[in-house]
Every structure is written in structure tokens, then in C-alpha cells.
Amino acid sequence: MSSDSVVPTKFVDSLSTLQELLDSLKVIPDSSPPLFIDLEGVNLGRNGSISILSLYAVHKGTIYLVDVHTLEEAAFSSPQPGQDTSLRAILESPSIKKVLFDVRNDSDALFSHYNISLAGVQDLQLMELATRIGSKKYIAGLAKCIERHSPMSGLTKAEWKRRKDEVSKLFDPRKGGSYSVFNERPMAPEVRDYCAADVAHLPGLYNYYQRIMTPAWRARVQNATNDRIRLSREPEYDGQASTKLVYHDFPHDYYIAAAFSVELLASDMGKYLEVQELKYKT
């Protein structure tokens, strides 16, 4: 599927549509791409609520928007007694690959409200940091990553940014909006499209970072991701802290940042040249 293609979206707001989603995920081949996941909510985290869980199943070519606001706990349970597959089981499975961008607040919200312990996750934000040439002090937001590294065409990126800016006026309090728009039902079409759009662009970023990371750095990023998940469940975690923008939150964050403070280790110099070549090509 082209990076500029529109991905079909299904809204999951009943037990029957939830069953359809779970049936589509009963068998996920090991060779399949990861599941790409994003959450939206009101003050997303332990002090807020989850409104929508967006799940892009690339092997099915479909984005599912799970209405957690409506389904609540049932969203993560099996609709049929005795059925093994549930969203909870998928999210907690270490063998089912999942990718999120900045897993911290999503993990905090899932654990605090539904006692879900994420596993099998790679943090796309950390993948960007691990492949970045230059300063590692600040972590990048999703919009910046899409602007720099998404395989979308320039025109598609411009249209994506225009729509994102328009919808942000509806939910961003700094622009006069309110996050409660994510809980309005029926959900406004533009808000629904917004929930699908961000997760739709994650596979392109994942493929870009994955192909320029060495196996050693993949392991280090995995360790840092696990640290983020573990520490997001700690009582002192503050998902709204301004220090989240600075890359020094967790032990493995220090490790990666320190190693990259000299651009790339000498043993990775070949990969450095490959990164530079890719940058000029894209």
C-alpha cells in the first residue's frame, strides 16, 4: 500500500464490532508487521481518561478505532465466554509485536485505569533518537518525525499538517478547544479522521528507522522502551512534567544519549554513512 493511500477505518463501539476486530487478530503471522497503536483521551494518563484506542493492523490493511469511552472495561475483555483473544491479551503479550510513539502516557493510562501491563512494545520515539545525527538532548514529537522522515509526498504532508492544525483547535485548550471532543458521540468526522491519521503514518516511520538501526541499537532501544513502561507505572510518574521533553528520564535513556553524544560509536561508522546517504535521498 502506498504511503499516500487512505487506509480503511472501522469504528468499534459495540460488542459485535469488537468481536469482528478480535476475529481479525486471532492469527497474526510472525512475519507480519507490528500492530501500530495510539491512544487519545482527556488528560491522557492516571488523572484523566481514555477515549479512543487506534489500532492499525497492517496485515489486514485496516485501522480500528476502539471506542473505550463507550465500551469501558468491555473494550479489553472477550465478548464471548471462553474465548482466549482479547485486547487485554494482545496488549500484554510479549510475543505480539506492537509499536507506539512515546509509550509513557499510554502505558500510564492503560495500567492505572484497566490494570493492563504493556509488553512486546517498541517505542518509535526512541527509535528516532537512536538513529538521529546530532544533539540527543531533546526528544522529537510525532509531527516533527513525520515532517522529516515520513515517506509521504510533500503535498500529502502539507495536507496532513493542515488538517491536524485545524482539528487541534477543537481539542487543544491552548487554542480554545477541549479534549472532551474525543468523548462526544457521534464523533465528529474530522476528529475520527484525526484519530486514524496519526497511527496511519507510524508504519512509514518505523520502516525508516528500522532499516538504519544496527542490531545492537535495536536491543538498547528495546531496553529503554521496557524501562519507560515500567517507570510509567510508578507512583511518582508525572505524565505532564515539562522534563519529559528532555531525554534524561530513565536509566537506559541516559545510556543511549551518552553513547550517541559522540554522534555514533566508531563501530557504527558504516551505519553513519548509510544514514547520511539515506538523508540525501529522501
Mean pLDDT of 235-254: 66
Q: The whole model's pTM is what?
A: 0.86
What number of CA atoms fall less than 13 Å from residue 180's CA on the CB side?
A: 3
Mean pLDDT of 167-190: 97
- The DSSP line for 200-259 is HTHHHHHHHHHHHS-HHHHHHHHHHHHHHHHHHTSTT--TT-GGGGBS-SSHHHHHHHHH
Top pLDDT among 161 and 271 is at 161
Kindly report, residue by residue over 181-219, the tens digit of the pLDDT: 999 999 999 999 999 998 999 999 999 999 999 899 999
At 75 the pLDDT is: 98
Q: How far apart are CA 17 and CA 21, in angstroms?
A: 6
Task: Round the average pLDDT of the chain to a whole number and report it.
Answer: 87
At 135 the pLDDT is: 83
- Name the pLDDT band for 56 (thresholds 50, 70, 90): very high
> Residue 231: left (phi > 0), alpha (psi -120 to 50), or beta?
alpha
pLDDT above 50: residue 262: no
Mean pLDDT of 220-233: 96
Task: List, in order, residues 6 or more apart from 67 with CB less than 8 Å away.
Answer: 11, 12, 13, 51, 52, 75, 185
- Name the pLDDT band for 241 (thresholds 50, 70, 90): confident
At 45 the pLDDT is: 97
Task: List, in order, residues 6 or more apart from 27 with CB less than 8 Å away.
Answer: none
- Report for 2-16, 20-34, 261-275: range of highest mean pLDDT: 20-34
Per-residue cell: 97: 509485536
At 34 the pLDDT is: 97
Top pLDDT among 26 and 281 is at 26
From 251, 246, 205, select the one nearest 225 (Cα to Cα): 251
At 83 the pLDDT is: 80
At 133 the pLDDT is: 87
At 198 the pLDDT is: 86
- Name the pLDDT band for 274 (thresholds 50, 70, 90): very low
Mean pLDDT of 142-157: 94
At 268 the pLDDT is: 43
Mean pLDDT of 50-68: 98
Domains of the chain: 9-281 (3.30.420.10)
At 246 the pLDDT is: 58
pLDDT above 70: residue 279: no
> Residue 73: left (phi > 0), alpha (psi -120 to 50), or beta?
alpha
Residue 201 burial by CB count (10 A; 0-12/13-18/19+): exposed, middle or buried? Answer: buried
pLDDT above 90: residue 273: no
